[in-house]
Structure formats: structure tokens, C-alpha cells
């Protein structure tokens, strides 16, 4: 009987431990501490603008640059194109923000009235939604002759532009040294006049510089501009 008692005791302990272990295995024994996984989501950076190519075309400035992406297949939706005056004295910068065309290259034309009589370099700033990238390196310089007065003086003022002052009286037609017909005037609608426009500085006159009249110039929008300096 003594042996039977010992056996009973051992069997009871073993059975109890087995049953308890099973209960642990199926229940609280698998409770795990909270240590969630952490993953990284990286945000792209806005690219720096690409140095544009510039060319003169009928007195206008044609600015061209490659479209830019923030991620593969995701292009900028706008670009800010700024003409920086390198004339002496300098003229105010002229900035246009243009919507992207969706192609691999983008371009914009600065009208002759915007660039005439100045020396300019252009930069590009890419934009996506509200994000703005860094400004590109400036393009090479282009020098534009002062706008021929004859054409501009006869251009009618824009009646839809309430801020455009009307020239007191048309300036006499400027004479051109070669009798060249002036380029058609195109100005940005509603653009404010350029009070600091002084024309091209001495020494930067290009062969296209043909105006000789010092009279005030009148642009197509009817804004009176001072005559080019040094003439």
C-alpha cells in the first residue's frame, strides 16, 4: 500500500502539471507584449529647376526647358519663369507662372514689349501643388534692342485694362535705320507698366538695335514708357 501511495502521488503531480501546461499553452501563456512594427515612408524632395535654353525670335524671347519630375512619371504642374535684368541700371524682374503642358519639354515666350531694350537672363522654378523647388542656374544672356516706337505708338490701348494709362498723345513714329518693319507688339494682359525701364545700356547694343528716336514709347497696352537710355 505504501508503494501504491507513492505511485498515486507521482501520477497525480504529473497529471496536474500536464493539464496545467496545456491550459497555459492555449491561453494566457501566449499573451504577447505590444511591440508593433515600424516602417518608414519617405517623402520625395522638390528638384532644382533646370537651366533653360533661350533664343531670340522676332524680338521675343523663347525660353525652353525640360519637364521635371518629383517621382517617376509625376511631373511638375507649374513652373515659374523669371527674367532677370542684367542691364545697367537693372530693370525689375519679370516672372510668369505657366501650367505644365505635359510634354517632355516646356516653353514660354516673353513678348518683345517685356524684353525690349534690356539684357536678360532667365531662371526656372519648378512647382507642384503648393511645393516650390529651388531656382535653376540662370540661362545665358540675351540682349534685346529697344522696341521700335512707330509700331508701339500706333497700337491701341487695351480698353479692358482699367489700370492701363492712356498715352496723352501718340509719339511720333520712330525711324529705323534700316527701314525695317517693327515686330508685332504683344504684352501680357493687365501687366503693370515697368517704371524702371530704361532700355539697353550702352555697349550692349546689338545689330538689331534700330531705333533712333528718344521719344517716349507706348506699348500695345497703352503704357507710356520712358525712352531708352543713352539714345
Partner 1 sequence: MLKSSWTAAAAAAVLAGVLVAVAPDPPSVRDGDALLLVGRDGDQPDGPLHFVLEGKPVRGLYPGAVKQMKITVRNPLGFRISLQRLTATVSSSSRRGCPATAGNLRVREYSGRLPATVAATGRTELDGSIPIVMPVNASEKCAGADFTITVSGVGHRMSR
- Footprint of partner 1 on this chain (CB under 8 A)? 1-2, 4-6, 8-9, 11-13, 15-17, 19-20, 23-24, 26-46, 70-72, 74, 128-132
Q: Please identify, using beta-carbon distances, which residue of 76 and 155 lies nearer to partner 1.
A: 76
Largest CA-CA distance found in the chain, in angstroms, rounded = 138
CB of 136 to partner 1, least distance (A): 17
Q: Please identify, using beta-carbon distances, which residue of 17 and 55 lies nearer to partner 1.
A: 17
Q: Please identify, using beta-carbon distances, which residue of 26 and 160 lies nearer to partner 1.
A: 26
CB of 135 to partner 1, least distance (A): 15
CB of 106 to partner 1, least distance (A): 19
d(CA 199, CA 180): 19
Q: Please identify, using beta-carbon distances, which residue of 44 and 55 lies nearer to partner 1.
A: 44
Q: What is the dihedral of CA 29, 32, 33, 39, to 10 degrees?
A: 170
DSSP three-state, residue 83: strand
**Residue with cell string 505635359:** 102
CB of 73 to partner 1, least distance (A): 10
DSSP string computed for 98-133 = EE--SSSEEEEEE-HHHHTT-EEEEEEEEEETTEE-
Amino acid at each position: 500500500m505504501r508503494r501504491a501511495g507513492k505511485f498515486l502521488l507521482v501520477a497525480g503531480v504529473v497529471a496536474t502539471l500536464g493539464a496545467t501546461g496545456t491550459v497555459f499553452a492555449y491561453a494566457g501563456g501566449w499573451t504577447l507584449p505590444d511591440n508593433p512594427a515600424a516602417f518608414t515612408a519617405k517623402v520625395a524632395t522638390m528638384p532644382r529647376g533646370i537651366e533653360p535654353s533661350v533664343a531670340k525670335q522676332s524680338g521675343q524671347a523663347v525660353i525652353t526647358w525640360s519637364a521635371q519630375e518629383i517621382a517617376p512619371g509625376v511631373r511638375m504642374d507649374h513652373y515659374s519663369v523669371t527674367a532677370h535684368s542684367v542691364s545697367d541700371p537693372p530693370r525689375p524682374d519679370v516672372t510668369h507662372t505657366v501650367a505644365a503642358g505635359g510634354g517632355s519639354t516646356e516653353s514660354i515666350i516673353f513678348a518683345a514689349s517685356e524684353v525690349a531694350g534690356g539684357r536678360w537672363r532667365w531662371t526656372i522654378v519648378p512647382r507642384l501643388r503648393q511645393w516650390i523647388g529651388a531656382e535653376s542656374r540662370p540661362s545665358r544672356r540675351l540682349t534685346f534692342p529697344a522696341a521700335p516706337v512707330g509700331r508701339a505708338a500706333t497700337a491701341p490701348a487695351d480698353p479692358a485694362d482699367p489700370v492701363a494709362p492712356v498715352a496723352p498723345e501718340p509719339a511720333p513714329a520712330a525711324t529705323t535705320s534700316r527701314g525695317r518693319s517693327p515686330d508685332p507688339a504683344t504684352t501680357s494682359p493687365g501687366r503693370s507698366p515697368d517704371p524702371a525701364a530704361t532700355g539697353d545700356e550702352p555697349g550692349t547694343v546689338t545689330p538689331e538695335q534700330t531705333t533712333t528716336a528718344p521719344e517716349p514709347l507706348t506699348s500695345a497696352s497703352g503704357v507710356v514708357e520712358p525712352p531708352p537710355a543713352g539714345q
